[in-house]
């Protein structure tokens, strides 16, 4: 059963007299200790030259500027799309001959594979630049070298035991790296490379007249960083905050503007949550169901962005339909895992597979099931080559890529390939090995069982005084971000009496909740009815875990509680 754990505010600190008391409490619980920790000006970024490999990357790019042909190869998610669009926009503006190619996940799989290199060779590049991939692509880099093509890898994923023999690698997670922010997303790494390149172009007098600076593309950096769910450390908070400022001022890619408008978000009040839950899913839908080329083009074009955004919105609606069906099947398969009366059958790590599942959507299914069972989950789909492609999602305290690395070391050959982060990873298996892998995965996760207990805890920022449950507080918190991974959006818990609960939109529950002194508030629990089954609506006294939101309708702004969990008192 879920339990509420309240974040400790920690030692007091001088944050100035202008910080709202509730926001002050929030900041202290996230390790903010001085006004400088809240400074998101560009001057606070870790110096560009401190990222290892930067100088060599700049020199390599300059070698291919005059006579070469540069081909950017990205990943098929939002981080990869924004990284590719960032490279394309900047290099084109600065006089580089550049084009892009993004692998179709269903034909080529992830990363710089030998197959994608051979396809790229048809365009006769002299330099391949990977963005948001490449660190695990030893075979692909070897293929490029055999064809006489240089490779520059820019990536942020954790490296394996063998590094590719690329001309240059820029990755803050390389062994021995002393760069201040290992949490950079792929688009953040690309930004750093381009920032150093523009500085060198200016020094050499090679920048075209009126060439834009790299800061003009921070809208793309903010979107990719938020979408990839990397920790918002101090460095990433600067990148996201600066990007949001550009978007709010209307100085953003036409595609980002179009996607926000389609989602009903106002440009001038956009938040990191809007990027994460409104823009990123639509952009990701292209890579999940079709080809991320349409997503990248949406971020590149100035005219026609609305048409491309509409296509992405259509793909996202299709994705949601496919995902809903898959979730029903997956949740039915694991319902026993959330049955407290059958604990003997519970698994520490869960593997799911259905022949009909869509390869591009299994990651979303794994994420939703993980939220239900509070344990690491891998969902598999059948790929065109007959192998299984799996997407893993983990819980706090269980580093999923380390789990896979240990399995690979203990059982060589069981996993074809894998890669990822602490909370998400991807892998390929032979279908015949699934049952054995599922048992071994469960056993390995079980060794992390003491850390798995963290998954049953819901962290909150404690209770709010009834007078602080107000529109003013919601506005203060909205402006206190950007919020995201490792710097979570504020949420609170408290006992309320639920009145007039009703289902809206088939899956959501709308209600009035009463706090002390008879104060009542409008509240909604999204996706409360997850599996479409009939269930008793909550009434009476309950402990709610909730966030403060601003509901804007017909020009009126009202407070609304977003309920994440309904727990017994």
pLDDT tens per residue, range 552-565: 877 789 999 999 99
| Cα 363 to Cα 352: distance, rounded to the nearest angstrom | 11
Predicted confidence band at 319 (pLDDT cuts at 50, 70, 90)?
Answer: very high
Res 248 pLDDT > 90:
yes
**Could you tell me the CA-to-CA distances from 91 to 67, 97, 200, 214 in Å, in that order?**
14, 8, 13, 10
pLDDT at position 544, please?
Answer: 96
DSSP string, 31-100: T--SGGGG--SGGGSPPGGGSTTHHHHHHHHHHTTSS--EEEEE-SSHHHHHHHHHHHHHHHHTT--EEE
pLDDT at position 337, please?
Answer: 54
Q: What is the mean pLDDT of residues 339-349?
A: 60
3-class DSSP assignment, residue 373: helix
pLDDT at position 554, please?
Answer: 76
What's the mean per-residue pLDDT of the chain?
Answer: 91
pLDDT at position 455, please?
Answer: 62
Res 539 pLDDT > 90:
no
Res 535 pLDDT > 70:
no
Q: Report which DSSP code applies to 458.
A: E
Closest Cα to residue 154, out of 294, 58, 231, 77? 58
Q: What is the mean pLDDT of residues 73-87?
A: 95
| Cα 519 to Cα 510: distance, rounded to the nearest angstrom | 17
Q: What tokens were used for 335?
A: 């319902």
What region, left, alpha or beta, does residue 208 occupy, with left being phi > 0 and alpha being psi -120 to 50 degrees? beta
Res 345 pLDDT > 60:
no
Any idea how long the chain is?
Answer: 569
Which parts of 411-552 fold into alpha helices (H)? 434-446, 449-452, 471-479
Res 449 pLDDT > 70:
no
Res 209 pLDDT > 90:
yes
Q: What is the mean pLDDT of residues 347-371?
A: 92
The fraction of the chain above a pLDDT of 70, given in percent, is: 96
pLDDT at position 453, please?
Answer: 58
Res 344 pLDDT > 50:
no
pLDDT at position 399, please?
Answer: 92
Predicted confidence band at 354 (pLDDT cuts at 50, 70, 90)?
Answer: very high
pLDDT at position 532, please?
Answer: 47
pLDDT at position 76, please?
Answer: 86
3-class DSSP assignment, residue 268: helix
Q: What is the mean pLDDT of residues 175-194?
A: 96
Domains in the chain, ordered, with CATH? 43-314 (3.90.1640.30), 347-447 (3.10.310.30), 458-567 (2.40.50.460)
Res 339 pLDDT > 70:
no
In terms of Cβ atoms closer than 10 Å to its own Cβ (0-12, 13-18, 19+), residue 316 is: buried
Q: What is the mean pLDDT of residues 255-275?
A: 95
pLDDT at position 109, please?
Answer: 72
User: Mind listing the pLDDT tens digit for each residue in 135-146?
Assistant: 999 999 999 999
Res 342 pLDDT > 50:
no
Q: What is the mean pLDDT of residues 204-218?
A: 96
Q: What is the mean pLDDT of residues 89-101?
A: 97
| Cα 111 to Cα 417: distance, rounded to the nearest angstrom | 11
| Cα 116 to Cα 127: distance, rounded to the nearest angstrom | 14
Q: Which of 371-375, 419-423, 457-461, 519-523 has the highest mean pLDDT?
A: 519-523
Is there a contact between 88 and 98 (Cβ–Cβ < 8 Å)? yes
The fraction of the chain above a pLDDT of 90, given in percent, is: 76
């Amino acid at each position: 059963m879920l339990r509420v754990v309240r974040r400790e505010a920690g030692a007091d600190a001088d944050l100035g007299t202008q910080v709202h008391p509730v926001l002050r409490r929030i900041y202290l619980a996230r390790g903010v200790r001085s006004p400088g920790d809240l400074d998101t000006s560009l001057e606070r970024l870790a110096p560009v030259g401190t990222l290892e490999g930067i100088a060599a990357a700049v020199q390599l790019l300059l070698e291919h500027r005059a006579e070469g042909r540069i081909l950017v190869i990205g990943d098929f998610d939002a981080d990869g799309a924004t990284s590719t669009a960032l490279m394309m926009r900047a290099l084109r503006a600065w006089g580089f001959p550049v084009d892009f190619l993004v692998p179709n996940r269903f034909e080529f799989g992830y990363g710089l594979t030998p197959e994608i290199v051979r396809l790229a060779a048809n365009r006769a590049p002299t330099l391949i630049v990977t963005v948001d991939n490449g660190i695990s692509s030893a075979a692909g880099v070897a293929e490029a070298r055999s064809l006489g093509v240089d490779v520059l890898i820019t990536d942020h994923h954790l490296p394996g035991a063998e590094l590719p023999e690329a001309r240059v690698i820029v990755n803050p997670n390389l062994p021995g790296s002393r760069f201040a922010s290992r949490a950079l997303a792929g688009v953040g790494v690309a930004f750093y490379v381009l920032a150093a390149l523009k500085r060198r172009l200016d020094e050499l007098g090679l920048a075209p007249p009126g060439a834009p600076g790299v800061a003009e593309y921070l809208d793309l950096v903010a979107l990719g960083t938020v979408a990839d769910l990397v920790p918002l450390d101090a460095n990433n908070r600067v990148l996201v905050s600066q990007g949001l400022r550009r978007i709010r001022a209307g100085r953003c890619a036409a595609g980002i503007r179009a996607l926000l408008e389609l989602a009903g978000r106002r440009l001038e009040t956009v938040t990191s949550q809007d990027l994460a839950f409104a823009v990123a899913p639509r952009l990701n839908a292209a890579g999940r169901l079709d080809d991320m080329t349409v997503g990248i083009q949406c971020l590149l074009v100035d005219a026609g962005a609305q048409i491309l955004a509409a296509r992405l919105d259509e793909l996202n609606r299709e994705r949601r339909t496919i995902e809903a069906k898959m979730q029903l099947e997956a949740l039915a398969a694991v319902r026993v895992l959330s049955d407290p009366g059958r604990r003997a059958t519970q698994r520490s790590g869960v593997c799911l597979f259905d022949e009909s599942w869509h390869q591009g959507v299994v990651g979303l299914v794994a994420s939703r099931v993980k939220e239900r069972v509070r344990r690491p989950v891998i969902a598999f789909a059948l790929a065109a080559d007959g192998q299984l492609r799996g997407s893993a999602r983990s819980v706090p305290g269980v580093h999923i890529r380390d789990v896979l690395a240990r399995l690979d070391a203990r059982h060589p050959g069981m996993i074809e390939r894998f890669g990822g982060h602490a909370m998400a990873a991807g892998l390929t298996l032979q279908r015949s090995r699934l049952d054995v892998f599922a048992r071994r995965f469960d056993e390995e996760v079980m060794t992390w069982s003491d850390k798995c207990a963290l998954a049953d805890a819901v962290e909150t920022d404690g209770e709010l005084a009834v007078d602080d449950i107000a529109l003013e507080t919601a506005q203060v918190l909205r402006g206190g971000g950007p919020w995201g991974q490792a710097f979570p959006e504020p949420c609170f818990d408290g006992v309320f009496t639920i009145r007039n609960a009703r289902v809206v939109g088939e899956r959501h529950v709308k209600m009035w909740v009463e706090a002390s002194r008879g104060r009542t508030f409008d509240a909604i629990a999204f996706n409360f009815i997850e599996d479409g089954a009939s269930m008793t609506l909550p009434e009476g006294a309950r402990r709610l875990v909730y966030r403060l939101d601003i509901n804007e309708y017909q020009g009126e702004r009202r407070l609304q509680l977003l309920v994440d969990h309904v727990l017994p008192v």
